[in-house]
Amino acid sequence: MPLNLTESRKLQHRAEQLLPGGVDSPVRAFRAVGGDPPFITHAEGAYLYDADGNRYLDYFGSWGPMILGHAFPPVVQAIQQAATRSASFGASTAAESDLAELVRRCVPSIGKLRFVSSGTEACMTAIRLARGFTGRKFVIKFEGCYHGHSDAMLVKAGSGVATLGIPGSAGVPEETAMHTIALPFNDLEAIRAAFVARPQEIACVIVEPVVGNAGTIPPNPGYLEGLRALTREHGALLILDEVMTGFRVSLGGAQQLYNIQPDLTTLGKIIGGGLPCAAFGGRADIMDHLAPVGPVYQAGTLSGNPLAMAAGIATLNELIAREHEIYPALERTTASIAEGVSKIARESGVDLTTNRVGSMFTWFFTAQTVTNYTDAAKSNTSAFGHFHRAMLEAGVWLPPSQYEAAFVSTAHGQREIDITLEAARKALATVTTN
Ligand code: PMP
């Protein structure tokens, strides 16, 4: 049955007069899947509620942060209590060190860190720091990986850039992007050749250790180890962008899961429990190149914001206290959902490839394996769009792009598995891929 989106449609019309595309972040506009984006009024646990009173089972979790579900009571209380003491000081608080200690406990490769307000800032500054530390200019990234919207990182980027089919971005001078080298993910030969072509010139390699922004793509066995060995051999830093995977694929992120020791790590999303917060950190000798100790500049009016720190502390405390219960449960629930739908697709004759690491996954509408962005881009995006709409009408909200990861929270359980499989069975019966 078509959704009643009368109120949302009105709100979208109003927003379009005020905000380009009616949104503050492009993928929210539903351009890739079509139809009207529902306007949210509130959310609780695994469910979102819109302005027309529709309820949706949430599989994007604010694009990753909401691992404990929406309005998780300890997080709500922490924010409320912090707010009564004022929303911001622009001066140091003990809470910054409290959260920093929790982060270091989870991610031992981090000696020192700095809090910022977005993943974009974290990645942009980690790269500046790598360049400042090594005295080199070139940066290697991978096709389909997204490291925020700083100029140099929009080359062959994933997420909304891939969704909208934009090759890069207008407004980025060639001169700004000329030191960014984009290579295919999961291809060690390509990176070996890049190091040989530019000896002593590559400052760092930045990578999503499990790609989320081209849809979910796990690293091939030995790939991350290979990146670690090659960067070390050539005097370049290895930056793991764990904005999405941090505290998600395990408490210690992908670096714990795959046992990789990066020089620098970027974190975001879960670290702020849904408030604007991110961080970058790593070897203390590198981090001490940052101002005011060193010559690499970075600053932020709202960095280390007390509400964000409170939400982050409450979130990490919960994940740390219940680590051995939470991560195995997320694994089981997500496996049932991801592989359950995969099986239904096979029975329905729909070409579907399921990639999953822990509680992040993607259903690619293709029969082929997906190991890099080129593979992902072979997906049938119109079949995905059809599936997305059919699922939304059945009350299940998947990320509105083939090139995004879906996320499961601790609030998803057996009831949510059943709802999803039932919705998928009906939706897939109406999808054709060939
Ligand atoms: N890196 C990765 C891996 C991301 O997934 C994102 C956001 N989806 C970013 C960086 C940028 O973070 P933000 O949107 O907070 O700027």
Residues 304 and 206 in one domain: yes
Centroid of ligand 1 to alpha carbon of 279 (angstroms): 11
Residue nearest to atom 5 of ligand 1 (CA): 244
Is 269 annotated in the active site? Answer: yes
In this structure, what CATH number is given to the domain that contains residue 47?
A: 3.90.1150.10
Residues 135 and 221 in one domain: yes
Of 146, 277, 303, the residue with max ligand 1 atoms within 8 A of its CB, to mutate for a pocket test, comes to 146
Ligand 1 atom, smallest distance to 242 CA: 3
Centroid of ligand 1 to alpha carbon of 49 (angstroms): 25
pTM strictly above 0.90: yes
HSE-CB of 424 using CA atoms within 13 angstroms: 25
Centroid of ligand 1 to alpha carbon of 268 (angstroms): 7
d(CA 397, CA 55): 9
Considering the candidates 241, 263, 351, 375, report the single residue annotated as catalytic. Answer: 241
- From the CA atom positions of the chain, what is the Rg in Å? 21
Pairing mode of beta strands 278-282, 264-267: antiparallel
* Residue 1 counted as domain residue: no
Centroid of ligand 1 to alpha carbon of 242 (angstroms): 9
Peptide bond into 292 cis (omega under 30): yes
* Residue 218 counted as domain residue: yes
Ligand 1 binding residues, C-beta < 6 A? 63, 118-120, 123, 146-148, 159, 208, 212-213, 241, 243-244, 268, 278
Considering the candidates 56, 59, 146, 327, report the single residue annotated as catalytic. Answer: 146
d(CA 398, CA 386): 12
Task: Per residue of the chain (434 residues), give pLDDT as tens.
Answer: 789 999 999 999 999 999 999 999 999 999 999 899 999 999 999 999 999 999 999 999 999 999 999 999 999 999 999 999 999 999 999 999 999 999 999 999 999 999 999 999 999 999 999 999 999 999 999 999 999 999 999 888 877 777 776 667 888 888 888 999 999 999 999 999 999 999 999 999 999 999 999 999 999 999 999 999 999 999 999 999 999 999 999 999 999 999 999 999 999 999 999 999 999 999 999 999 999 999 999 999 999 999 999 999 999 999 999 999 999 999 999 999 999 999 999 999 999 999 999 999 999 999 999 999 999 999 999 999 999 999 999 999 999 999 999 999 999 999 999 999 999 999 999 998 76
Residues 316 and 327 in one domain: no
Residue nearest to atom 10 of ligand 1 (CA): 147
Of 28, 147, 357, 403, the residue with max ligand 1 atoms within 8 A of its CB, to mutate for a pocket test, comes to 147
DSSP assignment of 123-170 equals: HHHHHHHHHHHHT--EEEEETT----S-GGGGTT--THHHHTT-SS-T
Residues 350 and 316 in one domain: no
* Residue 68 counted as domain residue: no
Residues 354 and 260 in one domain: no
* Domain stop point among 295, 321, 347: 321
Considering the candidates 50, 269, 351, 375, report the single residue annotated as catalytic. Answer: 269
* Residue 12 counted as domain residue: yes
Query: How far is CA 239 from each of CA 131, 209, 260, rounded to the nearest angstrom?
Result: 12, 9, 11
* Domain stop point among 266, 293, 321: 321
Is 258 annotated in the active site? Answer: no
Residues 32 and 84 in one domain: no
Residues 355 and 297 in one domain: no
Residues 265 and 338 in one domain: no
Ligand 1 atom, smallest distance to 63 CA: 8
| Domain with 239 in it | 73-321
Residues 52 and 78 in one domain: no
Which of 240, 284, 233 is CA-nearest to residue 258?
A: 240
Identify whether the C-beta of residue 359 lies closer than 8 Å to the C-beta of residue 407.
yes
* Residue 433 counted as domain residue: no
* Residue 39 counted as domain residue: yes
* Domain stop point among 305, 321, 337: 321
Centroid of ligand 1 to alpha carbon of 141 (angstroms): 14
d(CA 413, CA 411): 6
Ligand 1 atom, smallest distance to 121 CA: 16
In this structure, what CATH number is given to the domain that contains residue 315?
A: 3.40.640.10
Centroid of ligand 1 to alpha carbon of 19 (angstroms): 21
Identify whether the C-beta of residue 42 lies closer than 8 Å to the C-beta of residue 49.
yes
**Tokens encoding 385:** 């769009």
Residues 55 and 184 in one domain: no
Is 297 annotated in the active site? Answer: no
Neighbour count for residue 254 (Cβ, 10 Å): 28
* Residue 297 counted as domain residue: yes
Which of 259, 250, 381, 263 is CA-nearest to residue 320?
A: 250
Which of 124, 106, 86 is CA-nearest to residue 309?
A: 86
Count of domains observed in the chain: 2
Identify whether the C-beta of residue 237 lies closer than 8 Å to the C-beta of residue 286.
yes
Please calculate the CA angle 307-312-314 and round it to the nearest 5 degrees: 95
Residues 14 and 122 in one domain: no
HSE-CB of 392 using CA atoms within 13 angstroms: 24
Residues 90 and 239 in one domain: yes
* Residue 248 counted as domain residue: yes
